[in-house]
Amino acid sequence: MASRAGSAPTIVDVAAQAGVSIKTVSRVLNQEPGVQEATREQVLKVVAALKYRPKLSARSLAGARSFLIGLLYYDPSAAFVAGVQKGATLRCREAGYHLVVESLHNDAADIDQQVERMVSALRPDGMVLTPPLCDNPKVLKALRESQTPCVLMSPGRQVKGQPSVCMDDVHAAEEVTNLLISLGHERIAFIKGATDQAASARRYQGFDNAMRAHGLAVDPELVHQGDFTFKTGVEGAHQLLSRRVRPTAVFASNDDMALGVLAAAQRLGLAVPADLSIAGFDDSPAAGLVWPPLTTVRQPVDQMARTAVEMLIGANRSDAEPPTEASLHRVLPYELVVRDSTSAPFDRPARVAGKARKR
């Protein structure tokens, strides 16, 4: 018997045509054990012939899973969204899951209700939280109360028992600083990021570590408080470059600020990197689209998102290992991207194309 014309085939059509019960079809589709190989093949043949696809809403209503992963974000940089989406959607598809995206206002008074509303309507099997939402207590509380598994991306602080994915900001900042020092710089200025973002402190920490390790004092006059915007990069440059003894290098803790430093330096008639080396952080698209291209650090954003989705899907499986504290907090490798904005002090600009080093 063929399936009714017009409407899509259902599990009943497949069962009838394969000469088995719908329960058996369900078993095959969900890869449950205890189906004879011959039966399995017969069912799969009919599934293919009918182009049968189980309907998500029915599976979701009847079963314990929704096959939906939620992604929450607030005011992210464009490069960040793009990377996260790429990693998350691809991993979702591999596992037959789908990604539902919602944007929220981190400062909204009713943000907990917004989250609660979304979760109770959608019942996602898990949620990926990006900064700064992953550090928002209201959001975390609403999710905990609804018992929705979460993975935090680059959270400010690890929460015990709360899965997270991040990169090693401290170590990356150390490496950038080491690069500048190895080029011969000693008066190295630093521009800090927004105080409400945890990465800011970690990056400064790395800078400080590296300086101390080389016996170089961090001159408070050469540390500027920025907020991750282009504007504070420009301001920082003006202030730092007006010191009695100028720095020979500026390490801005993100690319937007580094671009501000570059723009300011160019307006002041300084040659980069001959008169001033500049390093950033993030490897934003713009970092490679300026002259000279910026030395920076690439966050593995898409890998982080992919890993986050994987953790959520894995946790939903019955055969999942009991998680250890270590398996809950994944630290992914970053990439130091050395380009032309850094050189030995007073060097002629390098003419070599950008190259990347992994660690």
Partner DNA sequence: CTGAAAGCGCTTACAG
The site partner of 263 among DNA, a copy of itself, none (C-beta below 5 to 8 Å per kind) is a copy of itself
Site for a copy of itself in 194-233 (CB under 8 A): 230
- Is 159 a binder of a copy of itself (CB under 8 A)? no
- Is 116 a binder of DNA (CB under 7 A)? no
Q: Are 70 and 122 in contact (CB under 8 A)?
A: yes
Looking at residue 327, its amino acid is: S
Site track 81-120 with a copy of itself (rule: CB under 8 A), x = hit: xxx-xx--xx--x--x-xxxxxx----------x-xxx-x
The site partner of 90 among DNA, a copy of itself, none (C-beta below 5 to 8 Å per kind) is a copy of itself
Site for a copy of itself in 310-329 (CB under 8 A): none
The site partner of 187 among a copy of itself, DNA, none (C-beta below 5 to 8 Å per kind) is none
SS3 content of the chain, % helix, strand, coil (to 5): 45, 15, 40
36 sits in the region (left: phi over 0; alpha: psi -120 to 50; else beta) called beta
CA distances to 1, 14, 18, 53, 163 from 4, in Å:
9, 12, 16, 15, 47
Site for a copy of itself in 230-269 (CB under 8 A): 230, 256, 259-260, 262-264, 266-267
Give helix 169-182 / helix 198-213 axis angle, nearest 10°.
40
Output the six-digit token pair for 187.
């008066």
The 10 Å Cβ neighbour count of residue 291 is: 11
The count of chain residues that interact with a copy of itself, using the rule CB under 8 A, is 55
CA distances to 67, 115, 222 from 144, in Å:
19, 11, 43
The site partner of 24 among a copy of itself, DNA, none (C-beta below 5 to 8 Å per kind) is DNA
Site for DNA in 36-65 (CB under 7 A): 36, 38-39, 52-55, 58-59, 61-65
- Is 315 a binder of DNA (CB under 7 A)? no
Task: Name the site residues for DNA (rule: CB under 7 A).
Answer: 7-8, 10-12, 20-24, 26-27, 29-30, 33-36, 38-39, 52-55, 58-59, 61-65
